[in-house]
Structure 1
């Protein structure tokens, strides 16, 4: 496999490591020379991409790419990669066999705590999630035009080494916001990487929820992390009166339980199916700081 990851940030680098472990040649895009240096040190061939145009070297790399992962979120003017590739995908990437598009479970909107599956119609309540639905469908259409399967990976709240409740507790930024009956799904970054590799190796297209087994109240994660650290959790704060940014508050507007049954039925096994075992692994190994 020759893999190109657009937007090789937190999730993208985890995906790159998974593909490298499978023997793939991996390249990725970032926005700055400093980030490119970091990718190179990790054994990932770096390219600078700011969304405006393909450089000659990047365009040349496309000729050999067999698997493409798009991790760059759409901005106010849409998906920058899609704009440049629409109608040109086959010509730019003649060896392409599979596309993975990283989306979000936010496309489902609010379901009052009820369960949703890949068959649940999208009813996003936030502008950024509405844009995701349109972008998902556009990528699927581009793939159909050149007979390349497109997997739409709908990701839950991402956490992992360096981005987790332990880090927030250590920094003093962890908050225990209480909203009655509110639940969220989450996903460990290594399971995003594993699911992407799994779908790519099998050239599976379609929609897949990439999320843990156990949606639950967000404050429970903070309490469990504090228990493992041997520290007191922060005091409870009522959602209605807590000071929050509009962005942070908007996440609480969608309450749902997201099923991963389709991905499991395809044969994928999660390394970290619930937050308790995941937090315990990070704490015991010390990887929570990484």
Structure 2
């Protein structure tokens, strides 16, 4: 039987998954707000559907799998706001549904470890909206839902190298601050592994093995490029935007044991050093 994925908000992570599924004969429908992106999606073997006005009838009628990458806003989850009843109607026949959330749902743990069983206590409005969205998706009867809480995403086109080259990278230092990260190719393999062995109701932390201070990552990238390490800038003097500062409001180490033990995942890039080195070797840039 042909597998068909309906992918809402078919962006960076979903496209990485599609690169794995399309060669296996999957049919993939991906929504996008940007008409200019449609040709790129077609070239990747994905049928683009413009959001929110495109015709989703065929995708809904044939979908065996559902992926939601679109994030919530002040009005709630955009997919459920438009299609809650339609999704509820097809939920019992779906083989798998995945919701891409964020580790921001755990809030601040002052550098301590969190697992999927850690209570959800977000400290930002953005994190709370994700908790609300997770709850709303879980409330759909019969939906074989899997939640993936993603750490900071990097990969081709999303690395620190360009800012280091341009001299605009900053090593902002806040004592005790650590972030977890994940390469987009590892997100894709976690999703594929879950599709192959569904466990409805499960939540998974998707991150690498090495939570690290952000200034260490910038320093390592500079070293790979053979450029001077940018000077340290104290957090209180950094003059950051409110959005940028909000990321520093939380410090935690995210445990990824479940994706390894339950899904059998062996990370392609187990730490930022291996990931950044591979990016540079593959493209000469990132």
Q: Is this a same-fold pair by TM over 0.5?
A: yes
The equivalent residue for 1:207 is: 203
Structure 1 position 94, deviation (Å): 6.7
Task: Give the TM-score taking structure 2 as reference length.
Answer: 0.94
Give aligned pairs, total: 282
The equivalent residue for 1:235 is: 231
Structure 1 gaps, min length 5: none
Structure 2 gaps, min length 5: none
Task: Select the residue among 129, 149, 153 that pairs with 1:154.
Answer: 149
Structure 1 position 120, deviation (Å): 0.3
**How far apart, in 1, do the equivalents of 2:121 and 2:232 lie?**
31
The structure-2 alpha-carbon separation of the partners of 1:274 and 1:185, relative to structure 1 and needing over 3 Å to count, comes to: same
**How far apart, in 2, do the equivalents of 1:166 and 1:116 lie?**
29
Structure 1 position 212, deviation (Å): 0.6
**How far apart, in 1, do the equivalents of 2:193 and 2:68 lie?**
16
| Deviations, residues 169-221 of structure 1 (Å, cap 9, x unaligned) | 12333110011111000000111111111111212231100001010100111
Task: Give the TM-score taking structure 1 as reference length.
Answer: 0.93
Structure 2 contact 91–144 (Cα < 8 Å) conserved: no
The equivalent residue for 1:44 is: 46
Structure 1 contact 64–95 (Cα < 8 Å) conserved: no
The equivalent residue for 2:16 is: 14
Task: Select the residue among 269, 274, 284 that pairs with 2:271.
Answer: 274
| Deviations, residues 96-142 of structure 1 (Å, cap 9, x unaligned) | 21110000000000011110000000000111110111111111121
| Deviations, residues 222-255 of structure 1 (Å, cap 9, x unaligned) | 1111111111121110001111001101111101
**How far apart, in 1, do the equivalents of 2:284 and 2:38 lie?**
24
Structure 1 position 44, deviation (Å): 0.9
Task: Select the residue among 70, 73, 83 that pairs with 1:75.
Answer: 73
- Structure 1 runs (4+) greater than 3 angstroms displaced: 92-95
- Report the 3-state secondary structure (helix = DSSP H, G, I; strand = E; otherwise coil) of the residue aligned with 2:62: coil
Structure 1 position 287, deviation (Å): 5.9
Task: Select the residue among 183, 186, 190 that pairs with 2:181.
Answer: 186
- Report the 3-state secondary structure (helix = DSSP H, G, I; strand = E; otherwise coil) of the residue aligned with 1:73: coil
The structure-2 alpha-carbon separation of the partners of 1:118 and 1:15, relative to structure 1 and needing over 3 Å to count, comes to: same
User: Aligned Cα RMSD in Å?
Assistant: 1.5
Structure 1 contact 153–207 (Cα < 8 Å) conserved: yes
